Amino acid sequence: MVDWNAMSDDAFREEVRAFFEQNYPEPLRYILRRARWEEMKDWWRRLYEQGWIAPNWPVKEGGMGLDAGKMVIYLEEMERHGVARAPDQGITQVGPIIMKFGTEAQRAYYLPRTLSGEIIWCQGYSEPNAGSDLASLQTSAVPDGGHFVVNGQKIWTTLAHDATHIYLLARTARQGKKQEGISFFLVDLKTAGISIRPIRNLAMHEEFCEVFFDNVRIPRAALVGGLNEGWTIAKALLGYERLNIGSPRRPAYALQRLEQVARAKGLLSDAGFVDRFTAVKLDLEDLAALYARFVDQVKRGKDLGPEVSVLKIWAMEAWQRVTDLLLEIGDEQGVMPGIQEVAGVEADFLNPFYYARPATIYGGSSEIQRNILAKYVLRLPG
């Protein structure tokens, strides 16, 4: 068993880079949309066989157990080579939750299958009238003998059409505070009564879906943690989601292209441009440092508190600043979809811009993250 953390950073970087270069499928480099499972499954298997599918998981659970510094290197190398994000909510979000809150039976069943790709997860949180105000969710799970019966609708469920399972928040009590009547379930999407309808986005990609539950009977064993105790789990999962979203890997592509095009256009000797370019470059350096701090916190076994909201805000807003600048220097070609040639450099200007737009919404909008910081970190009066 290799102890990756004991390797020098340079040696680790070299090893990861060589592996990505030799194994990642060329046609899937730098695709600027969420990759579908069908495209990514061979790569998933390759990473799994290598033991590298879960860089964030502890070694005893089948992960790489990377420390913060190595984690950043791993993500930087993914980005450098244009490796797409696989349908990875199982690895980045619900896996750590099952490790922490799941029963022995849930851990034994779900964790190995999540690693191998036999189980692919999607997130069933948002509803048509419960996004920012997630605790208002109305999808219900009513106990019935050895089962719960689920009715309701989820929306914006990323890649539900590729998933085999959904982690679901449902209302199990209506009295008292709304946060105290929510439970967290693990549900097989093949269960009778579930239907999935894709939604097409502005870039014409069917990246998310609506998921409908019509008298869906799920076993009692689908419940994670205690009945009506799902809100704590939901928040812990959002912490992991914000950590993952906050990784510096996505803005890095846009920055790389920005630098190439700017150099080709001679903009790196234009003081006005250099001023703006340096500002976004430093924003991303700050992001990498902030991300490493939170990864380290998780590795030391400490919970992600509300502070992780600052990472989410910084990562997403910095990404938007980079993609704004990229679109701007693309001139008139910049607003054309697909790969365009500007000053002899081929780049996609519009898609990174589109891709970064919803980033200040998903995983909890920037406004909500600012509210969280104000209330729980700065303790400002409400």
Ligand X SMILES: Cc1cc2nc3c(=O)[nH]c(=O)nc-3n(C[C@H](O)[C@H](O)[C@H](O)COP(=O)(O)OP(=O)(O)OC[C@H]3O[C@@H](n4cnc5c(N)ncnc54)[C@H](O)[C@@H]3O)c2cc1C
d(CA 144, CA 287): 48
Rule CB under 6 A: say whether 158 interacts with ligand X: yes
Question: Of residues 198-227, which lie at the interface with ligand X (CB under 6 A)?
Answer: 208
Residue reference for tokens 């630098």: 259
Under rule CB under 6 A, residue 57 binds ligand X: no
Which residue in 7, 361, 374, 377 binds ligand X (CB under 6 A)? 361
**Which one of 36-44, 90-98, 156-164, 238-246 is the stretch in contact with ligand X (CB under 6 A)?**
156-164
* Phi/psi of residue 117, nearest 5 degrees: 90, 5
156 binds ligand X (CB under 6 A): yes
- For ligand X, which is the closer residue by CB, 156 or 213? 156
By three-state DSSP, how is residue 365 classified? coil
* 215 Rama class: left (phi>0) / alpha (psi -120 to 50) / beta: left
Residue 134 and residue 178: Cα distance in Å, rounded? 10
State yes or no: residue 367 binds ligand X (CB under 6 A): yes
What CA dihedral angle connects 255, 256, 260 and 262, to 10 degrees?
A: 10
Binding mask 241-280 for ligand X (x = CB under 6 A): ----------------------------------------
For ligand X, the closer of residues 56 and 157 by Cβ is 157
- Which member of 69, 331, 362, 377 binds ligand X (CB under 6 A)? 362
153 binds ligand X (CB under 6 A): no
Rounded to an integer, what distance in angstroms lies between the CA atom of residue 98 and that of residue 224? 8
Residue 168 CB, shortest distance to ligand X, in Å, is: 9
User: Among residues 131 and 181, whose Cβ is nearest to ligand X?
Assistant: 131
Report the residue from 56, 92, 153, 157 that binds ligand X according to the rule CB under 6 A.
Answer: 157
Residue 87 interacts with ligand X (CB under 6 A): yes or no: no
CB-nearer residue toward ligand X: 93 or 297: 93
The active-site residue, picked from 76, 79, 127, 241, is 241
Q: How far is the CB of 37 from ligand X (least distance, A)?
A: 14
Residue 207 annotated as catalytic: no
Residue 207 Cβ, how far from ligand X at the closest point, in Å? 6
- Give me the least distance between CB of 32 and ligand X, in Å please: 13
DSSP state letter for 127: B
In the complex with ligand X, which residue's Cβ is closer, 20 or 208?
208
Q: Which is nearer to ligand X, 46 or 205 (CB)?
A: 205
Residue with the CB atom nearest ligand X in the bound state: 131
Q: Is 319 in the site for ligand X (CB under 6 A)?
A: no
In the complex, least distance from residue 359 CB atom to ligand X, rounded to whole angstroms: 8
Q: Which residues within the stretch 121-140 sit at the binding site for ligand X (CB under 6 A)? A: 122-126, 131-132
* Radius of gyration from C-alpha coordinates of the chain: 21
Region class of 208: left (phi > 0), else alpha (psi between -120 and 50), else beta: beta
Does position 364 interact with ligand X (CB under 6 A)? The reply is: yes
Rule CB under 6 A: is residue 90 a binding residue for ligand X?
A: no
Compute how many residues bind ligand X; rule: CB under 6 A.
Answer: 19
Least separation, in Å, of the C-beta of 295 and ligand X?
22
Query: Which tokens belong to 17?
Result: 């880079």
368 touches ligand X (CB under 6 A):
yes
Query: Which active-site residues does the annotation give?
Result: 241
Residues that bind ligand X (CB under 6 A): 122-126, 131-132, 156-158, 208, 358, 361-362, 364-365, 367-368, 371
